[in-house]
Amino acid sequence: MTATLDRAAAAAVDERPIPSSTATRRRWIGFAAVLAAMIMDILDSTIVNVAAPSIQRDLHTSPSALEWVAAAYTLAIAVGLLTGGRLGDRYGRKRMLLVGLSGFMIGSAACAFAWSPSSLIAARVVQGLAAALLTPQTFGLIRDIFPPDQIGKAFAAFGPVIGLSTVAGPVVAGLLIDADPFGTGWRSLFLINLPLGAFALAVGARVLPAGGGRRTVRLDAVGTALMAAVSLLIVFPLVDGRAQGWPAWIFAVLASAAPLLAVFVVHQRRRVRRGATPLVEFSVLAKRSYVSGVAFTLVFFGSIVGFGLTVGLFLQLGLGFSPLKAGLYTAALAVGAFFGSGVGAWATTNVGRPILHVGLAIMAAGTTTLLVSVHAAGANPGAAALLPGLGIYGLGMGMIFVPLFSIITGEIEDHEVGSASGLLEALQQLGASLGVAVLATLFFSRFAPERGGPVAAAAAGRHVGAIEATLSVSLVLLAVAFAVGWLLPRRARSGF
Protein backbone atom coordinates (compact mmCIF):
# COMPACT_ATOMS: atom_id res chain seq x y z
CA MET A 1 0.00 0.00 0.00
CA THR A 2 2.79 2.42 0.92
CA ALA A 3 4.57 1.73 -2.36
CA THR A 4 1.35 2.38 -4.27
CA LEU A 5 0.83 5.69 -2.47
CA ASP A 6 4.42 6.67 -3.17
CA ARG A 7 3.98 5.98 -6.89
CA ALA A 8 0.75 7.93 -6.93
CA ALA A 9 2.43 10.88 -5.22
CA ALA A 10 5.31 10.75 -7.69
CA ALA A 11 2.87 10.68 -10.60
CA ALA A 12 1.06 13.68 -9.18
CA VAL A 13 4.33 15.56 -8.93
CA ASP A 14 5.21 14.61 -12.54
CA GLU A 15 1.85 15.90 -13.78
CA ARG A 16 2.29 19.36 -12.30
CA PRO A 17 2.57 22.03 -14.99
CA ILE A 18 6.14 22.75 -16.03
CA PRO A 19 6.94 26.48 -15.72
CA SER A 20 6.99 28.11 -19.16
CA SER A 21 10.61 29.25 -18.77
CA THR A 22 11.70 25.70 -17.92
CA ALA A 23 9.72 24.22 -20.82
CA THR A 24 11.23 26.75 -23.22
CA ARG A 25 14.72 25.96 -21.98
CA ARG A 26 14.13 22.22 -22.40
CA ARG A 27 12.88 22.76 -25.94
CA TRP A 28 16.02 24.63 -26.99
CA ILE A 29 18.28 22.10 -25.28
CA GLY A 30 16.50 19.34 -27.20
CA PHE A 31 16.86 21.41 -30.36
CA ALA A 32 20.62 21.61 -29.71
CA ALA A 33 20.77 17.80 -29.53
CA VAL A 34 19.00 17.50 -32.90
CA LEU A 35 21.38 20.08 -34.40
CA ALA A 36 24.40 18.15 -33.10
CA ALA A 37 23.13 15.03 -34.88
CA MET A 38 22.70 16.97 -38.14
CA ILE A 39 26.14 18.60 -37.86
CA MET A 40 27.78 15.19 -37.49
CA ASP A 41 26.19 14.03 -40.75
CA ILE A 42 27.16 17.25 -42.58
CA LEU A 43 30.79 17.05 -41.44
CA ASP A 44 31.17 13.41 -42.44
CA SER A 45 29.64 13.97 -45.86
CA THR A 46 32.37 16.50 -46.76
CA ILE A 47 35.51 15.59 -44.80
CA VAL A 48 36.73 13.07 -47.37
CA ASN A 49 37.27 15.97 -49.79
CA VAL A 50 39.98 17.24 -47.43
CA ALA A 51 41.12 13.99 -45.81
CA ALA A 52 41.41 11.79 -48.93
CA PRO A 53 45.12 12.39 -49.67
CA SER A 54 46.07 11.86 -46.01
CA ILE A 55 44.05 8.63 -45.93
CA GLN A 56 45.69 7.49 -49.16
CA ARG A 57 49.20 8.03 -47.78
CA ASP A 58 48.50 6.45 -44.39
CA LEU A 59 46.60 3.35 -45.53
CA HIS A 60 48.32 3.01 -48.93
CA THR A 61 44.92 3.24 -50.56
CA SER A 62 44.41 2.66 -54.27
CA PRO A 63 42.46 5.30 -56.23
CA SER A 64 39.39 3.03 -56.50
CA ALA A 65 39.46 2.24 -52.76
CA LEU A 66 39.71 5.97 -52.04
CA GLU A 67 36.62 6.54 -54.17
CA TRP A 68 34.83 3.85 -52.17
CA VAL A 69 35.63 5.67 -48.91
CA ALA A 70 33.45 8.50 -50.21
CA ALA A 71 30.93 6.49 -52.22
CA ALA A 72 30.25 3.85 -49.53
CA TYR A 73 28.90 6.51 -47.17
CA THR A 74 26.50 8.11 -49.64
CA LEU A 75 25.45 4.75 -51.11
CA ALA A 76 24.57 3.41 -47.65
CA ILE A 77 22.55 6.56 -46.93
CA ALA A 78 20.73 6.22 -50.26
CA VAL A 79 19.64 2.67 -49.44
CA GLY A 80 18.89 3.32 -45.78
CA LEU A 81 16.76 6.40 -46.38
CA LEU A 82 14.12 4.26 -48.09
CA THR A 83 13.41 2.64 -44.71
CA GLY A 84 14.75 5.14 -42.17
CA GLY A 85 11.67 7.35 -42.16
CA ARG A 86 9.30 4.40 -41.82
CA LEU A 87 11.29 3.04 -38.87
CA GLY A 88 10.71 6.38 -37.14
CA ASP A 89 6.99 6.17 -37.88
CA ARG A 90 6.83 2.61 -36.53
CA TYR A 91 9.03 2.78 -33.44
CA GLY A 92 9.06 6.51 -32.63
CA ARG A 93 11.32 9.32 -33.85
CA LYS A 94 13.17 9.78 -30.58
CA ARG A 95 14.02 6.10 -30.28
CA MET A 96 15.28 5.86 -33.85
CA LEU A 97 17.31 9.07 -33.52
CA LEU A 98 19.06 7.65 -30.46
CA VAL A 99 19.66 4.31 -32.17
CA GLY A 100 21.03 6.14 -35.21
CA LEU A 101 23.31 8.27 -33.02
CA SER A 102 24.65 5.17 -31.29
CA GLY A 103 25.33 3.50 -34.64
CA PHE A 104 26.99 6.65 -35.98
CA MET A 105 29.32 6.80 -32.98
CA ILE A 106 30.22 3.12 -33.39
CA GLY A 107 30.88 3.67 -37.09
CA SER A 108 32.98 6.78 -36.35
CA ALA A 109 35.10 4.92 -33.82
CA ALA A 110 35.59 2.10 -36.33
CA CYS A 111 36.68 4.66 -38.97
CA ALA A 112 39.14 6.22 -36.52
CA PHE A 113 40.74 2.85 -35.74
CA ALA A 114 40.62 1.47 -39.29
CA TRP A 115 43.77 -0.47 -40.16
CA SER A 116 43.18 -0.99 -43.88
CA PRO A 117 41.18 0.48 -46.77
CA SER A 118 38.63 -2.37 -46.51
CA SER A 119 38.04 -1.79 -42.79
CA LEU A 120 37.59 1.95 -43.38
CA ILE A 121 35.11 1.35 -46.21
CA ALA A 122 33.11 -1.08 -44.04
CA ALA A 123 33.04 1.46 -41.20
CA ARG A 124 31.83 4.15 -43.62
CA VAL A 125 28.94 1.87 -44.58
CA VAL A 126 27.99 1.61 -40.89
CA GLN A 127 28.16 5.40 -40.62
CA GLY A 128 25.98 5.83 -43.70
CA LEU A 129 23.30 3.41 -42.52
CA ALA A 130 23.22 5.13 -39.12
CA ALA A 131 22.94 8.56 -40.78
CA ALA A 132 20.05 7.24 -42.89
CA LEU A 133 18.30 6.27 -39.67
CA LEU A 134 18.81 9.52 -37.74
CA THR A 135 18.45 12.10 -40.54
CA PRO A 136 14.74 11.47 -41.36
CA GLN A 137 13.81 11.96 -37.70
CA THR A 138 15.24 15.45 -37.28
CA PHE A 139 12.59 17.63 -38.93
CA GLY A 140 9.75 15.66 -37.34
CA LEU A 141 11.37 15.99 -33.92
CA ILE A 142 11.73 19.75 -34.32
CA ARG A 143 8.00 19.92 -35.00
CA ASP A 144 7.37 17.70 -31.98
CA ILE A 145 9.58 19.84 -29.71
CA PHE A 146 8.13 23.27 -30.46
CA PRO A 147 4.54 24.54 -30.37
CA PRO A 148 3.23 26.02 -33.64
CA ASP A 149 4.00 29.60 -32.62
CA GLN A 150 7.70 28.79 -32.06
CA ILE A 151 8.47 26.49 -35.00
CA GLY A 152 9.33 29.48 -37.20
CA LYS A 153 12.00 30.62 -34.73
CA ALA A 154 13.46 27.12 -34.60
CA PHE A 155 13.79 26.79 -38.37
CA ALA A 156 15.10 30.36 -38.59
CA ALA A 157 17.95 29.26 -36.31
CA PHE A 158 18.31 25.88 -38.01
CA GLY A 159 19.26 27.21 -41.44
CA PRO A 160 22.17 29.49 -40.45
CA VAL A 161 23.65 26.90 -38.06
CA ILE A 162 23.62 24.21 -40.74
CA GLY A 163 24.96 26.70 -43.29
CA LEU A 164 27.81 27.79 -41.04
CA SER A 165 28.62 24.15 -40.27
CA THR A 166 28.91 23.49 -43.99
CA VAL A 167 31.24 26.48 -44.38
CA ALA A 168 33.35 25.53 -41.37
CA GLY A 169 33.53 21.81 -42.20
CA PRO A 170 36.47 21.86 -44.66
CA VAL A 171 38.37 24.38 -42.52
CA VAL A 172 37.90 22.36 -39.32
CA ALA A 173 38.95 19.21 -41.18
CA GLY A 174 42.13 20.90 -42.40
CA LEU A 175 42.90 22.31 -38.96
CA LEU A 176 42.53 18.94 -37.27
CA ILE A 177 44.69 17.10 -39.79
CA ASP A 178 47.42 19.75 -39.64
CA ALA A 179 47.25 19.95 -35.84
CA ASP A 180 47.59 16.15 -35.67
CA PRO A 181 46.27 15.90 -32.06
CA PHE A 182 47.97 13.02 -30.22
CA GLY A 183 49.29 11.79 -33.56
CA THR A 184 45.79 10.95 -34.84
CA GLY A 185 45.98 12.91 -38.12
CA TRP A 186 42.97 12.26 -40.35
CA ARG A 187 41.53 9.90 -37.72
CA SER A 188 40.71 12.91 -35.54
CA LEU A 189 37.98 13.84 -38.06
CA PHE A 190 36.08 10.75 -36.99
CA LEU A 191 37.03 10.91 -33.31
CA ILE A 192 35.46 14.37 -33.02
CA ASN A 193 32.08 12.72 -33.62
CA LEU A 194 32.34 10.89 -30.31
CA PRO A 195 31.93 13.91 -27.96
CA LEU A 196 29.35 15.44 -30.33
CA GLY A 197 27.42 12.19 -30.44
CA ALA A 198 27.70 11.64 -26.68
CA PHE A 199 26.21 15.11 -26.08
CA ALA A 200 23.34 14.53 -28.50
CA LEU A 201 22.71 11.05 -27.09
CA ALA A 202 22.71 12.11 -23.42
CA VAL A 203 20.65 15.26 -23.93
CA GLY A 204 18.31 13.68 -26.45
CA ALA A 205 17.52 10.75 -24.16
CA ARG A 206 16.63 13.18 -21.38
CA VAL A 207 14.67 15.99 -23.03
CA LEU A 208 13.37 14.94 -26.46
CA PRO A 209 9.67 14.09 -26.55
CA ALA A 210 8.98 10.36 -26.67
CA GLY A 211 6.56 9.15 -29.30
CA GLY A 212 5.25 5.61 -29.27
CA GLY A 213 5.18 5.23 -33.04
CA ARG A 214 2.61 3.28 -34.99
CA ARG A 215 3.18 -0.48 -35.07
CA THR A 216 0.72 -0.70 -37.96
CA VAL A 217 3.40 0.78 -40.26
CA ARG A 218 4.80 -2.15 -42.26
CA LEU A 219 8.40 -2.36 -43.44
CA ASP A 220 9.68 -3.78 -46.71
CA ALA A 221 12.99 -5.53 -46.07
CA VAL A 222 12.91 -7.37 -49.42
CA GLY A 223 12.35 -4.16 -51.38
CA THR A 224 15.16 -2.41 -49.50
CA ALA A 225 17.54 -5.32 -50.20
CA LEU A 226 16.63 -5.27 -53.89
CA MET A 227 17.29 -1.53 -54.16
CA ALA A 228 20.60 -1.97 -52.31
CA ALA A 229 21.63 -4.61 -54.84
CA VAL A 230 20.57 -2.46 -57.81
CA SER A 231 22.50 0.54 -56.47
CA LEU A 232 25.62 -1.53 -55.85
CA LEU A 233 25.46 -3.10 -59.33
CA ILE A 234 25.42 0.41 -60.83
CA VAL A 235 28.10 2.04 -58.66
CA PHE A 236 30.59 -0.86 -58.35
CA PRO A 237 31.51 -1.10 -62.07
CA LEU A 238 31.95 2.68 -62.32
CA VAL A 239 34.30 2.79 -59.33
CA ASP A 240 36.28 -0.41 -59.94
CA GLY A 241 36.14 -0.60 -63.75
CA ARG A 242 39.32 1.43 -64.30
CA ALA A 243 41.34 -0.56 -61.76
CA GLN A 244 40.16 -3.81 -63.37
CA GLY A 245 40.99 -2.63 -66.89
CA TRP A 246 37.33 -2.48 -67.97
CA PRO A 247 36.91 -6.24 -68.68
CA ALA A 248 33.69 -7.59 -70.17
CA TRP A 249 32.39 -8.82 -66.81
CA ILE A 250 32.38 -5.25 -65.48
CA PHE A 251 29.89 -4.28 -68.16
CA ALA A 252 27.90 -7.45 -67.48
CA VAL A 253 27.61 -6.46 -63.82
CA LEU A 254 26.40 -2.99 -64.85
CA ALA A 255 23.85 -4.47 -67.27
CA SER A 256 22.53 -6.87 -64.61
CA ALA A 257 21.14 -3.90 -62.67
CA ALA A 258 18.30 -3.56 -65.22
CA PRO A 259 16.63 -6.98 -64.71
CA LEU A 260 17.05 -6.68 -60.95
CA LEU A 261 15.34 -3.28 -61.08
CA ALA A 262 12.48 -4.99 -62.95
CA VAL A 263 12.23 -7.54 -60.13
CA PHE A 264 12.00 -4.63 -57.66
CA VAL A 265 9.14 -3.10 -59.66
CA VAL A 266 7.25 -6.42 -59.73
CA HIS A 267 7.77 -6.81 -55.98
CA GLN A 268 6.45 -3.32 -55.29
CA ARG A 269 3.35 -3.86 -57.43
CA ARG A 270 2.60 -7.09 -55.57
CA ARG A 271 2.78 -5.21 -52.28
CA VAL A 272 0.29 -2.67 -53.58
CA ARG A 273 -2.11 -5.44 -54.63
CA ARG A 274 -1.85 -6.97 -51.13
CA GLY A 275 -2.66 -3.63 -49.56
CA ALA A 276 0.87 -3.16 -48.13
CA THR A 277 2.69 0.15 -48.33
CA PRO A 278 5.32 0.17 -51.11
CA LEU A 279 8.71 1.84 -50.82
CA VAL A 280 7.84 3.86 -53.91
CA GLU A 281 4.41 5.18 -54.88
CA PHE A 282 4.35 4.35 -58.57
CA SER A 283 1.72 6.99 -59.19
CA VAL A 284 4.43 9.67 -58.79
CA LEU A 285 6.47 8.01 -61.56
CA ALA A 286 3.52 8.49 -63.93
CA LYS A 287 4.07 12.26 -63.75
CA ARG A 288 6.56 13.50 -66.34
CA SER A 289 7.56 16.47 -64.20
CA TYR A 290 8.49 14.25 -61.26
CA VAL A 291 10.42 11.74 -63.39
CA SER A 292 12.28 14.69 -64.89
CA GLY A 293 13.01 15.82 -61.33
CA VAL A 294 14.46 12.39 -60.56
CA ALA A 295 16.83 12.74 -63.54
CA PHE A 296 17.71 16.31 -62.51
CA THR A 297 18.48 15.17 -58.95
CA LEU A 298 20.81 12.39 -60.09
CA VAL A 299 22.73 14.62 -62.50
CA PHE A 300 22.87 17.73 -60.30
CA PHE A 301 24.03 16.03 -57.10
CA GLY A 302 26.38 13.77 -59.01
CA SER A 303 27.97 16.83 -60.54
CA ILE A 304 28.45 18.84 -57.35
CA VAL A 305 29.70 15.98 -55.15
CA GLY A 306 32.10 14.72 -57.80
CA PHE A 307 33.26 18.31 -58.38
CA GLY A 308 33.98 18.85 -54.68
CA LEU A 309 35.97 15.64 -54.31
CA THR A 310 38.09 16.12 -57.43
CA VAL A 311 38.87 19.74 -56.56
CA GLY A 312 40.09 18.56 -53.14
CA LEU A 313 42.27 15.90 -54.79
CA PHE A 314 43.65 18.46 -57.24
CA LEU A 315 44.60 20.90 -54.49
CA GLN A 316 46.44 18.37 -52.34
CA LEU A 317 47.74 15.69 -54.71
CA GLY A 318 48.34 18.03 -57.62
CA LEU A 319 49.34 21.35 -56.05
CA GLY A 320 50.77 19.93 -52.84
CA PHE A 321 48.53 22.02 -50.56
CA SER A 322 48.38 21.13 -46.89
CA PRO A 323 44.98 19.88 -45.62
CA LEU A 324 44.37 23.24 -43.91
CA LYS A 325 45.18 25.28 -47.01
CA ALA A 326 43.03 23.00 -49.16
CA GLY A 327 40.19 23.31 -46.62
CA LEU A 328 40.41 27.10 -46.73
CA TYR A 329 40.25 27.09 -50.52
CA THR A 330 37.31 24.68 -50.75
CA ALA A 331 35.50 26.73 -48.10
CA ALA A 332 34.95 29.24 -50.92
CA LEU A 333 32.38 26.77 -52.31
CA ALA A 334 30.50 26.70 -49.01
CA VAL A 335 30.68 30.47 -48.52
CA GLY A 336 29.20 31.01 -51.97
CA ALA A 337 26.51 28.42 -51.25
CA PHE A 338 25.67 30.11 -47.96
CA PHE A 339 24.86 33.38 -49.70
CA GLY A 340 23.22 31.67 -52.65
CA SER A 341 20.86 29.77 -50.36
CA GLY A 342 19.44 33.09 -49.14
CA VAL A 343 18.56 33.99 -52.72
CA GLY A 344 17.15 30.51 -53.27
CA ALA A 345 14.91 30.75 -50.20
CA TRP A 346 13.39 33.99 -51.48
CA ALA A 347 13.05 32.67 -55.03
CA THR A 348 11.28 29.44 -54.07
CA THR A 349 7.83 31.00 -54.14
CA ASN A 350 8.61 34.30 -55.85
CA VAL A 351 10.41 32.97 -58.91
CA GLY A 352 9.92 29.20 -59.13
CA ARG A 353 11.62 27.09 -61.80
CA PRO A 354 13.66 29.89 -63.45
CA ILE A 355 15.86 30.13 -60.33
CA LEU A 356 17.18 26.65 -61.15
CA HIS A 357 18.35 27.81 -64.56
CA VAL A 358 19.86 30.97 -63.09
CA GLY A 359 21.74 28.87 -60.53
CA LEU A 360 22.95 26.38 -63.17
CA ALA A 361 24.13 29.24 -65.42
CA ILE A 362 26.11 30.73 -62.53
CA MET A 363 27.60 27.30 -61.72
CA ALA A 364 28.62 26.93 -65.36
CA ALA A 365 30.18 30.40 -65.24
CA GLY A 366 32.13 29.41 -62.13
CA THR A 367 33.28 26.14 -63.72
CA THR A 368 34.36 27.95 -66.89
CA THR A 369 36.18 30.61 -64.87
CA LEU A 370 38.06 27.90 -62.96
CA LEU A 371 38.84 25.95 -66.14
CA VAL A 372 40.19 28.98 -68.02
CA SER A 373 42.13 30.25 -65.00
CA VAL A 374 43.81 26.90 -64.31
CA HIS A 375 44.69 26.47 -67.99
CA ALA A 376 46.21 29.98 -68.13
CA ALA A 377 48.11 29.64 -64.84
CA GLY A 378 49.70 26.31 -65.73
CA ALA A 379 51.09 23.90 -63.17
CA ASN A 380 50.87 26.17 -60.11
CA PRO A 381 47.68 28.26 -60.05
CA GLY A 382 47.29 30.51 -57.02
CA ALA A 383 44.42 32.07 -55.12
CA ALA A 384 43.57 34.52 -57.90
CA ALA A 385 43.11 31.63 -60.32
CA LEU A 386 41.17 29.34 -58.00
CA LEU A 387 39.01 31.25 -55.54
CA PRO A 388 36.81 33.31 -57.93
CA GLY A 389 35.64 30.24 -59.84
CA LEU A 390 35.01 28.24 -56.66
CA GLY A 391 33.04 31.07 -55.07
CA ILE A 392 30.91 31.65 -58.17
CA TYR A 393 30.20 27.93 -58.47
CA GLY A 394 29.12 27.80 -54.81
CA LEU A 395 26.83 30.82 -55.25
CA GLY A 396 24.90 29.15 -58.06
CA MET A 397 24.81 25.84 -56.21
CA GLY A 398 23.28 27.48 -53.14
CA MET A 399 20.52 29.06 -55.22
CA ILE A 400 19.36 25.58 -56.24
CA PHE A 401 19.64 23.75 -52.91
CA VAL A 402 16.70 25.41 -51.14
CA PRO A 403 13.98 25.43 -53.83
CA LEU A 404 14.85 22.22 -55.69
CA PHE A 405 12.67 19.62 -53.94
CA SER A 406 9.78 22.09 -53.57
CA ILE A 407 9.81 22.67 -57.33
CA ILE A 408 10.18 18.98 -58.27
CA THR A 409 7.13 18.09 -56.12
CA GLY A 410 5.11 21.03 -57.46
CA GLU A 411 2.59 18.73 -59.21
CA ILE A 412 2.55 15.93 -56.62
CA GLU A 413 -0.71 15.13 -54.79
CA ASP A 414 -0.81 15.56 -51.02
CA HIS A 415 -0.95 11.81 -50.30
CA GLU A 416 2.12 11.25 -52.52
CA VAL A 417 4.39 13.83 -50.89
CA GLY A 418 5.96 11.51 -48.31
CA SER A 419 6.96 8.87 -50.84
CA ALA A 420 8.04 11.43 -53.45
CA SER A 421 10.27 13.39 -51.07
CA GLY A 422 11.75 10.22 -49.54
CA LEU A 423 12.65 8.88 -52.97
CA LEU A 424 14.27 12.20 -53.92
CA GLU A 425 16.40 12.18 -50.76
CA ALA A 426 17.57 8.63 -51.51
CA LEU A 427 18.32 9.48 -55.15
CA GLN A 428 20.24 12.56 -54.02
CA GLN A 429 22.66 10.25 -52.21
CA LEU A 430 22.75 7.76 -55.09
CA GLY A 431 23.58 10.64 -57.43
CA ALA A 432 26.40 11.64 -55.07
CA SER A 433 27.81 8.10 -55.27
CA LEU A 434 27.60 8.12 -59.05
CA GLY A 435 29.27 11.52 -59.22
CA VAL A 436 32.18 10.27 -57.11
CA ALA A 437 32.44 7.16 -59.29
CA VAL A 438 32.42 9.00 -62.62
CA LEU A 439 34.36 12.21 -61.92
CA ALA A 440 36.93 10.79 -59.50
CA THR A 441 37.58 7.87 -61.87
CA LEU A 442 38.11 10.36 -64.71
CA PHE A 443 40.45 12.44 -62.55
CA PHE A 444 42.60 9.46 -61.55
CA SER A 445 42.67 8.12 -65.13
CA ARG A 446 44.30 11.39 -66.26
CA PHE A 447 46.37 11.96 -63.13
CA ALA A 448 47.64 8.34 -63.18
CA PRO A 449 49.29 8.31 -59.72
CA GLU A 450 50.28 4.66 -60.22
CA ARG A 451 52.89 5.85 -62.74
CA GLY A 452 55.55 6.93 -60.25
CA GLY A 453 53.21 8.12 -57.50
CA PRO A 454 51.34 11.41 -56.91
CA VAL A 455 54.53 13.49 -56.68
CA ALA A 456 55.75 12.27 -60.06
CA ALA A 457 52.31 12.80 -61.56
CA ALA A 458 52.23 16.39 -60.28
CA ALA A 459 55.80 17.02 -61.45
CA ALA A 460 54.79 15.85 -64.92
CA GLY A 461 51.90 18.31 -64.91
CA ARG A 462 49.28 15.56 -65.20
CA HIS A 463 47.22 17.19 -62.44
CA VAL A 464 46.34 20.09 -64.75
CA GLY A 465 45.08 17.79 -67.48
CA ALA A 466 43.15 15.76 -64.87
CA ILE A 467 41.27 18.73 -63.44
CA GLU A 468 40.63 20.21 -66.89
CA ALA A 469 39.04 16.95 -68.04
CA THR A 470 36.95 16.76 -64.87
CA LEU A 471 35.77 20.36 -65.18
CA SER A 472 34.85 19.80 -68.84
CA VAL A 473 32.66 16.81 -67.94
CA SER A 474 31.15 18.86 -65.09
CA LEU A 475 30.10 21.45 -67.68
CA VAL A 476 28.44 18.71 -69.74
CA LEU A 477 26.53 17.50 -66.66
CA LEU A 478 25.38 21.06 -65.91
CA ALA A 479 24.17 21.39 -69.52
CA VAL A 480 22.18 18.14 -69.15
CA ALA A 481 20.63 19.42 -65.92
CA PHE A 482 19.82 22.73 -67.63
CA ALA A 483 17.97 20.92 -70.43
CA VAL A 484 16.08 18.59 -68.06
CA GLY A 485 15.13 21.59 -65.89
CA TRP A 486 12.69 22.82 -68.55
CA LEU A 487 10.53 19.74 -67.86
CA LEU A 488 10.09 20.52 -64.15
CA PRO A 489 6.99 22.26 -62.72
CA ARG A 490 7.06 26.03 -63.13
CA ARG A 491 6.01 26.74 -59.56
CA ALA A 492 7.16 25.32 -56.25
CA ARG A 493 4.89 23.33 -54.00
CA SER A 494 3.51 25.53 -51.21
CA GLY A 495 4.07 24.39 -47.65
CA PHE A 496 6.66 21.74 -48.61
pLDDT of residue 172: 86
Asked if residue 286 lies in contact with residue 419, where contact means CB atoms within 8 angstroms, the answer is: no
* Coil, strand or helix at 5: helix
* Alpha helix positions (H), 378-496: 383-401, 404-408, 417-435, 441-447, 453-459, 462-485
Residue count of the chain: 496
Closest by Cα among 413, 426, 131, 411 to 294:
426
pLDDT of residue 403: 87
* Coil, strand or helix at 59: helix
- Mean per-residue pLDDT pooled into runs of 10, the chain (496 residues): 40 46 83 88 82 91 90 90 82 90 96 96 95 86 82 71 74 89 92 93 89 70 89 90 87 93 90 82 84 94 92 91 91 89 86 94 97 91 94 94 87 76 85 91 82 58 90 97 94 68
**How far from 153 is each of 158, 208, 349, 401, CA to CA, in Å?**
9, 18, 20, 21
3-state helix, strand, coil in the chain (%, to 5): 85, 0, 15
Neighbours of 276 (CB within 10 A): 13
Q: How far apart are CA 315 and CA 312, in angstroms?
A: 5
pLDDT of residue 113: 96
